[in-house]
Structure 1
């Protein structure tokens, strides 16, 4: 679907403290007078402008009714946040609020003693029935993370380029391949941008090629992985996907697409907040479907309270007001395009009637399941590494597939052998 979006609130400057030097943990009550301001320390790894702008506005929303609360917002590199959080078990000094990569890191974080048990708060939360159970993350029946939004992958396209070349938005992988080849043959534009990084980010981008064939991490086989990697290899060799994409993260890939020189971009709904600023007409559709349809993994950040927060009650009040409230959900959606998990917010016209958002909402109704294994992150990292290696030209698809399946099986066993 395609539409020109009306201008939304401009990106607001992020109050971020980079973790090259330690920014410390929660507020130090010994340094504050009893009547002085309280500080909420928030750890996140956001880099997209829309996400950062939404975080700033949500903090302002909370500050309106809590003027004595100040914020220390700490931006930690994506791959460093779980390690930093796990280290607080030793330092006994961590964040008040953490936004973690719940779909990858939850088993390790929840079982490590670095997150507060949210069960008593969740049991008293009046609007719990508005939030889907899949957005409440439990270990041994105790709640440690809740999600106020979910993130899905889709296919973005530059409608101006497709109109010029007479290309219809593709619905299947075969149609997508034909469209990419047509753009490449024309020679004016980059056919595709996406992250091919040797990380979980890169793995997330191309694994739906396998999901569309009914294959996930629990039934991964050499032949299907080789087919997907062969496609990546051909895209790289034929100039469809730039070789440098082997080291692009998701933000890099979006920046390349947003320049206006690329026909297609595989990326997530969190970029929708920037749609109004693009120099071309933007369109979106679901991830191209394989023989088993279009399926993607659900993503998004989990909201947690650090185990060493000075005031867990205040931290939970912040989660309720700045993230779980209907007003906060609309702020987050408007600035970042992230899909609200509250049913009453997702049904609001601002969300339900947005044509760019519709493919992502549709994707949310048929997502794939993540493996239930403590080494899920390692399983994805292996897949990211082999994908990056064929995009860069360092590996052949067949060899990389064998290495990928072996690596996933080894990680699965290290994590206890469970999966589905």
Structure 2
């Protein structure tokens, strides 16, 4: 058996704590709180911390955890936290050499925990990630190493109201790039209906929703003031100026943006897989298309979803059993069942194919996820939170009319440097 050698204690820097607080996202995770649950487990009990406090004892998720524990010959002590609570407690527990055996964390947090020395690598813990789509796995990579495996993914796409488009004489098949989308919005407005709604709020949600357009322009997060980036922000600003998008986007969360789309007045709404259940109850026929790139094709939208990670333990003898539990949680059948529960697209092609076979309507979402990109990809790691903060500030500044898109993004790039 391969052995793993790690230092017993890892000191976490103030920078890591600060970066983590900013990196925590509000996309598709449940809310609530859980008890601390940080006391050391006995030899027959393994601890799992997850960001799903909405799932109580007896739920399919908790039953799966218990079943994977039983398969490994141990009991599971599980605690569900709010996302921000979980990540902060994970850092504090690591300081005390009292980490949970398995942490399931929002994907932008992985690189921060990894750089702080909290997590083992997949080379060390022997988690098999060979079947995972590379673009999804990249969200859990830092410094050329991989620190976990995704349990599922979600991303953004454009919901559209079929009745609104029909009344405006718009064929959805014609919407393939930015010019054709803008032309469709012009037709919708001329027909007396509303165009598109999204979230441009001054938080991570605003950055999350802007990224498909930012990346779809060809821009990179290492150059916020590039001509491509300016074109993306100009697109949004022009939509507001022309009345194709409402001024409310400046304060919209993804939830309030969805509520606007759900009125049935809008042609398009940018949102994620987590709204599928609400879409089914909206009371009108809808469809979904990936966010288009500036010249066509699918823009890379940011990935949401969590990673299964194995923290560093003082007692290295626990790793073998922990690996068995993690492998069980991410097996083909369990990914299929879990991702149905979480409204996620699976991270492997095999399970994605099963999802589409069961529900052909998921094909668009699978395509969007395959084109998606981790926010901390490109080895940005803990640099991402600062970049994101400056990005959402630039969006707010430009859309409010305080500055031009070019000046807003120039200021953002200067602040990042």
TM-score, normalised to structure 1's length? Answer: 0.75
> Counterparts of 1:149-188 in structure 2 under 5 Å?
149-169=152-172, 170-188=175-193
C-alpha contact 2:69 2:325 (8 A) present in aligned 1: no
Distance 2:98 2:195 in 1: 47
C-alpha contact 1:171 1:286 (8 A) present in aligned 2: no
Name the SS for the 1:150 alignment partner: coil
Residues 381 and 129 (structure 1), Cα distance of their counterparts in 2 relative to 1, 3 Å cut: same
- 1:26 aligned residue: 38
C-alpha contact 2:225 2:412 (8 A) present in aligned 1: no
Distance 1:71 1:100 in 2: 14
C-alpha contact 2:223 2:413 (8 A) present in aligned 1: no
C-alpha contact 1:155 1:288 (8 A) present in aligned 2: no
Q: Is 1:71–2:78 an aligned residue pair?
A: yes
Distance 2:166 2:96 in 1: 57
Deviation at residue 272 of structure 1 after TM alignment = 3.1
**1:27-85 Cα distance to aligned partner (Å, 9 max, x none):** 5447xxx88xx4744232x69x9xx69x95232233346575353211234xx654453
Out of 342, 351, 376, the position equivalent to 1:345 is: 351
C-alpha contact 2:38 2:93 (8 A) present in aligned 1: no
- 2:261 aligned residue: 257
Residues 381 and 356 (structure 1), Cα distance of their counterparts in 2 relative to 1, 3 Å cut: farther
- 2:331 aligned residue: 325
C-alpha contact 2:178 2:296 (8 A) present in aligned 1: no
Distance 2:278 2:341 in 1: 8
Deviation at residue 192 of structure 1 after TM alignment = 1.8
- 1:115 aligned residue: 119
Name the SS for the 2:126 alignment partner: helix
> Counterparts of 1:118-129 in structure 2 under 5 Å?
118-122=122-126, 125=128, 128-129=129-130
- 2:293 aligned residue: 289
Q: State the aligned residue count.
A: 374
- Further displaced range: 55-64 or 229-238: 55-64
Deviation at residue 368 of structure 1 after TM alignment = 5.5
Out of 271, 278, 284, the position equivalent to 2:275 is: 271
Name the SS for the 2:81 alignment partner: strand
Q: Is 1:396–2:397 an aligned residue pair?
A: no
Residues 404 and 135 (structure 1), Cα distance of their counterparts in 2 relative to 1, 3 Å cut: same
Out of 378, 381, 386, the position equivalent to 1:371 is: 378
**1:352-373 Cα distance to aligned partner (Å, 9 max, x none):** 5744322333334445573322
Residues 148 and 309 (structure 1), Cα distance of their counterparts in 2 relative to 1, 3 Å cut: farther
> Counterparts of 1:240-255 in structure 2 under 5 Å?
240-255=244-259
Distance 1:60 1:254 in 2: 32
Residues 199 and 257 (structure 1), Cα distance of their counterparts in 2 relative to 1, 3 Å cut: same
The gaps in structure 1 that reach 5 residues or longer are: 1-13, 411-420
Name the SS for the 1:283 alignment partner: strand
Deviation at residue 233 of structure 1 after TM alignment = 2.1
Residues 316 and 278 (structure 1), Cα distance of their counterparts in 2 relative to 1, 3 Å cut: farther
Deviation at residue 87 of structure 1 after TM alignment = 3.6
Residues 289 and 109 (structure 1), Cα distance of their counterparts in 2 relative to 1, 3 Å cut: same
Name the SS for the 1:340 alignment partner: coil
- 1:131 aligned residue: 132
Distance 1:353 1:120 in 2: 36
Deviation at residue 183 of structure 1 after TM alignment = 2.8
C-alpha contact 1:42 1:95 (8 A) present in aligned 2: yes
Deviation at residue 110 of structure 1 after TM alignment = 0.4
Distance 1:82 1:17 in 2: 14
Coordinate RMSD, CA, aligned: 3.5
TM-score, normalised to structure 2's length? Answer: 0.75
